[in-house]
C-alpha cells in the first residue's frame, strides 16, 4: 500500500516511524507539511519524497492519503483525494462537525467508490455506540478533564490559567460547539458523534483540572441495549500536551488493520 502523509507533528512522525518499523505494511511515498525544515528531516529519515504544495503532492502514486495535520488540512486535501479515487484516513475528525463539509465528502466518496477511515483517537467504545445505534440509542455524554495548560480558555491570561486552583468547567454543550471552540482538544467528541447520535445531540462537558496530569475522557451512553460508562485516562504525547499519546497509536492501529486479513471489531 502506497501512502501519502500530510503533517509532520507528533502524530505524523509516529505514523512515519511505524511504517519504517514494519508495523504498517506499506510504503511512505511522499510527505507534505507547512514546516519545511521538519518535513525535509522526516523525508531524509524515512527515505521518501517531500513537497510543499498541494499540486506537487498529487504527482506521487498513492493508495491512501493519511491526514495528521489539522482540520484545515482535511478540508484542503480530502476532496481532492476523493476526486482522484484515493482512499483517506483522517486524524483531525473534528472537521466532520461541519455538517455541510461532512455531507459533501460523504457524497463524493460514494460517487467515487472511495473509503474515508476515521480512527477512534484517544477514546474507546465506538464499536459499542455503532452497535447501539442499530437499536434505540437515547443518550451519549462525553466528559473531558484535562490539565489547564492544554485548555486555555479564550480571554484568560496565561497567569490565570497557570494559577487555577480548582477544577473549572470551561465548556458545556453540544459536540458541534465543543469542536468549534476547542478543535485541537476534542476530536474525540466528533468521533463519538459520528458513531452515535450526531454532533447536535451528543453532549460534551470540558473541565480544566489542575489536579490531573492525564487527559481523562468519560463516555456514558444509554439506550434500549442498556447502558455503559467508559473511562480512559490518557498520557499526553511527549511533544504536544493537547494530544493524547493514544491518538497516534489509534491511527497506527487502523492503518495496520487495513493491511490485515483478519479484522476484529466493527
Q: Mind telling me the catalytic residues?
A: 217
> Position of cell 499519546?
245
The CA distance from 194 to 179, in Å, is 13
User: For 110, what's the count of Cα atoms within 13 Å in the CB-facing half-sphere?
Assistant: 6
Amino acid at each position: 500500500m502506497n501512502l501519502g502523509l500530510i503533517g509532520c507533528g507528533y502524530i505524523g512522525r509516529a505514523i512515519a516511524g511505524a511504517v519504517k518499523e514494519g508495523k504498517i505494511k506499506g510504503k511512505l511515498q511522499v510527505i507534505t507539511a507547512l514546516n519545511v525544515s521538519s518535513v525535509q528531516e522526516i523525508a531524509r529519515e524515512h527515505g521518501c519524497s517531500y513537497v510543499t504544495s498541494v499540486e506537487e503532492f498529487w504527482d506521487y502514486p498513492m493508495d491512501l492519503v493519511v491526514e495528521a495535520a489539522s482540520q484545515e488540512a482535511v478540508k484542503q486535501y480530502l476532496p481532492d483525494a476523493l476526486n482522484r479515487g484515493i482512499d483517506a484516513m483522517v486524524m483531525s475528525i473534528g472537521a466532520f462537525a461541519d455538517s455541510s463539509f461532512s455531507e459533501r465528502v460523504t457524497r463524493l466518496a460514494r460517487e467515487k467508490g472511495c473509503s474515508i477511515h476515521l480512527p477512534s483517537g484517544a477514546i474507546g467504545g465506538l464499536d459499542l455506540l455503532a452497535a447501539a445505534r442499530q437499536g434505540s440509542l437515547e443518550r451519549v455524554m462525553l466528559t473531558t478533564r484535562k490539565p489547564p495548560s492544554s485548555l486555555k480558555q479564550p480571554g484568560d491570561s496565561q497567569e490565570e490559567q497557570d494559577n487555577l486552583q480548582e477544577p473549572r468547567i470551561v465548556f458545556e454543550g453540544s459536540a458541534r460547539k465543543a469542536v468549534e471552540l476547542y478543535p485541537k482538544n476534542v476530536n474525540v467528541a466528533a468521533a463519538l458523534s459520528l458513531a452515535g447520535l450526531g454532533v447536535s445531540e451528543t453532549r460534551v462537558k470540558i473541565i480544566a483540572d489542575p489536579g490531573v496530569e492525564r487527559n481523562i475522557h468519560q463516555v456514558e451512553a444509554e439506550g434500549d441495549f442498556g447502558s455503559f460508562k467508559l473511562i480512559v485516562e490518557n498520557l499526553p504525547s511527549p511533544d504536544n500536551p493537547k494530544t493524547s499519546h493514544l491518538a497516534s497509536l489509534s491511527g497506527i492501529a487502523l492503518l495496520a488493520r487495513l493491511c490485515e486479513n483478519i479484522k476484529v471489531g466493527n
